Amino acid sequence: MSREAHNSDLPWWKGATIYQIYPRSFMDSNGDGIGDLPGITQRLPHVANLGVDAIWISPFFKSPMKDFGYDVSDYREVDPIFGDLTDFDALVTRAHELGLKVLIDQVYSHTSDEHAWFEECRSSRHNPKADWYVWADAKPDGTPPSNWQSVFGGPAWTWDARRGQYYMHNFLSSQPQLNLHNREVQDAVLEVMRFWLERGVDGFRIDALNFAMHDPELRDNPPAPATDKARTRSFDFQLKKFNQGHADIPAFIERIRELTDSFDGVFTVAEVGGDDAMREMRLFTEGEDHLNSAYSFNFLYAEKLTAQLVCRSLSEWPDEEGVGWPSWAFENHDAPRALSRWCNGEDCDAFARLKTLLLMSLRGNAILYYGEELGLRQVDIPFDQLHDPEAIANWPLTLSRDGARTPMPWDESASAGFGSKEPWLPVGDANRARPVAVQDREEGSLLASTRKAIALRRANPAMKHGKVTECRHDGDLLILRREAAGQTLEFRFNLGTKPIGLDDCQGRVLMAINGASHSDLPAYAAIITEISE
């Protein structure tokens, strides 16, 4: 069997490279300072030229934007700041013309308090949707029914005088928790999923899936063990044993899979973070009746990129029957930009090339965050320009998520090509100096090397979907071996600043960066070779 035939036998998403777009910050087409769907459509050729397989668009649904789209008030409508359903249809059509699949976020653990479902639910204890959200009576002394804390700080319960009860919210008080134990609620969100599938989407990233169900007995969470790390949120003082990760979530996932399997080639990936993430990710993706993949947090908040971290992370997803398929990201809309975490003033351009090639070399799906191909950094947002509710509440101890959500720099103009008006967040001086237009002209730019790394992944089955037969580390040296379709590749990465000599590197060179050779790995260098059996 040829390598091409071997690839064609696999689903499109197996080893895919996916490009995450944060719609507020990608491209402003109408001059209001906020990115929108027509702006994304306008810039899709750039994404297609990267060589990626799919785009993932963060929420664009109707919302009061208290958590910037993750508080949905209508699952089937586009928020007017982003456009309308016609704009979305045009985006899907154009993406498919360019050979790009389209994934969208779905937020099922909670809605906005402005959603029609919640407005009906809170109106009384006896309306048709009275049990669609999580409500509970106060304790005899009037305090909340459990000790659960919200991610954004403070109790996960808010008193509502109309019902004379508390409602639960794992995030903002304006994000009430859906009661997914209720079959009717499951039916409703599955119909939302069907709505978007019928509009042509190719898959979903399901937000905060391990928060989707709670313990109906409302048992208190136990305290977390003591730690030397500063805890800026009350949420961090507990083990989240009862407010998330309920044992009935996999049965709900089976219903999702039944629906998505009725369409062709749909990909599903769960966002699962927290104390018990590895067990839950395995559970949510095991076998052929759950989700296709889970979105790993291993690297998103890591203070340093190490060879040991890479090997440990890969070992958690062995190539075994029934074990799911991982998805990896070094950056996203919630985590600080990787270069700002991992590069301490040395040659950050060289490190960025290494980081990108490493991401493309991991077994699993590779998710690039918009601007990562340019080497964008975290922007320091002053307090008076913050939008992130978590950062505002915990200032200055929580690093603002806004700093990773700044506008995409497209050209050298005053607006960085983002739009004609002052953008909703500052571009940042360091990022303004790295626009697409400049890097597109430079043969040695990070943008050019990103395209080459993605192309290499697409062309080599061992790199795209092969099993890991070896992963070892020696200080800053990382050595991987991967195999598929009769191909064996060896990968050597120097994750440090000191040169490393090699005495066992053999095979035909497929790619070498930052001065790497068969015998030497300078600082941040890497070499990939094909081994003849």
Give catalytic residue positions: 207, 271
Cα→Cα distances 53→34, 98, 340, 464, Å: 26, 10, 27, 12
Name the nearest CA neighbour of 44 among 89, 92, 83.
92
8 A C-beta contact, residue 377 and residue 431: yes
Name the nearest CA neighbour of 201 among 60, 387, 83, 72.
60
d(CA 114, CA 73): 5
Residue 462: strand, helix, or coil: helix
Residue 10: strand, helix, or coil: coil
d(CA 433, CA 436): 10
Tokens linked to 287:
């076998």
**Distant-in-sequence, close-in-space partners of 9: CB < 8 Å, separation ≥ 6:** none
Residues paired with 105 in a beta bridge: 205
Tokens linked to 240:
């989240």
d(CA 41, CA 22): 13
Q: 101-107 and 135-136 as β-strands: parallel, antiparallel, unpaired?
A: unpaired
